[in-house]
Amino acid sequence: MSLTPRVVAVHRRTEFEELIARHGTRGQAAFFLASRGRSLDEVEERHAVTQDALATVTAGIPIDWRRADVERTDLDRFLFTPDDVIAVVGQDGLVANVAKYLDGQPVIGVDPEPGRNPGVLVTHTAEGFESVLRAVAAGSAAYETRAMVEAALDDGQTLVALNEVFVGHPSHQSARYRLRQEPAEERQSSSGLIVSTGTGTTGWCRSIWLQSHSNLGLPAPTEHRLVWFVREAWTSPATRTSLVEGELASGQALAIIAETDGLVAFGDGIESDRLILSWGQELKIHIADRSLRLALPNPRVASS
């Protein structure tokens, strides 16, 4: 007998919960904020809105379905299964946090505070969750497929990210390495480099792109193409700055060979989940085989 579907609700602690965890009681948290001219009321109101959204999502799951609840800090210890449906309740960044642990499972992004968040990845309201879940279960939902980026060390370690991968020194001081995109190769010293997907080009990547006055076209969110930029490359007798930006299509890779011990690579700003490069190790970055499968708000819209 086959199991009923499972909906995994992913969320993160609210600011109110973090304040209570830090200060012990509501009164102590209120006193702490009041001493700095701030009120706990707004934080508590936003907590209540988020809790209401979580309750609405939970109520929208059929009573005979299995369900699980995962807080963001527990994602690396949670076992997702191929048949899961993922309900992400929170900000857009929470979708990126969970995407690296998935492999094609449908994701329904729910915005608990419409109008406060950009809503790029959390495109559904809590009230609309049930109808989208029904469409997913019936096979009639439309999806947007977003490319992801993978970094692979020569010892077999890998990491995957939805927005971008950063490579550099953990303290952001000068990193020395050799950069190679066939057929070109160059020894560099810089404050690091990023490799971004189309999803990531609205954030950190775009800032670097604008500051460098680049003419490189940025990929669209659903486009399977990556772009990369070197930050603050430094010319010296041993290092050059001719390879500071580029793009990667399917089948192409950017290679970084460490010439500083202890360089790191991490994705989507999560520095605690990182690869560490020893001197001489090679890291290759390319389009990931897996992608984010994001349910669209309107099931009648055709998927690209």
Delimiting residues of CATH 3.40.50 domain(s) in the chain: 6-141
Q: In angstroms, rounded to a whole number, what is the distance separating the alpha carbons of residues 224 and 171?
A: 31
pLDDT for residue 26: 93
Please state which architecture CATH assigns to domain 149-288.
Sandwich (2.60)
Measured from the Cβ of residue 134, the count of other Cβ atoms closer than 10 Å reads 14
Q: Are the C-beta atoms of 88 and 122 separated by less than 8 Å?
A: yes
pLDDT digits (tens, 9 = 90+) for 236-284: 999 999 999 999 999 999 999 999 999 999 999 888 889 999 999 999 9
Looking at residue 161, its pLDDT comes to 96
- The answer to whether the CB of 95 falls within 8 A of the CB of 109 is yes
Please give the pLDDT value at position 269. Answer: 86
* Alpha carbon 224 to chain centroid, angstroms: 16
Could you report the per-residue pLDDT of 63-99, keeping only the tens digit for each? Answer: 999 999 999 999 989 999 999 999 999 999 999 999 9
Instruction: Give the pLDDT band of residue 2 (cuts 50, 70, 90).
Output: low
pLDDT of residue 303 exceeding 70: no
Q: Which CATH fold would you assign to the domain 6-141? A: Rossmann fold (3.40.50)
Whether a cis peptide bond, with omega within 30° of 0, leads into 183 is yes
Percent of the chain with pLDDT over 70: 97
| CATH 2.60.200.30 domain range(s) in the chain | 149-288
Q: If 0-12 CB within 10 Å is exposed, 13-18 middle and 19+ buried, where does residue 223 land?
A: middle
* pTM over the 0.85 mark: yes
Residue 165 has pLDDT above 60, yes or no: yes
- pLDDT at position 298: 64
* Per-residue pLDDT reduced to its tens digit, 194-210: 999 999 998 889 999 99
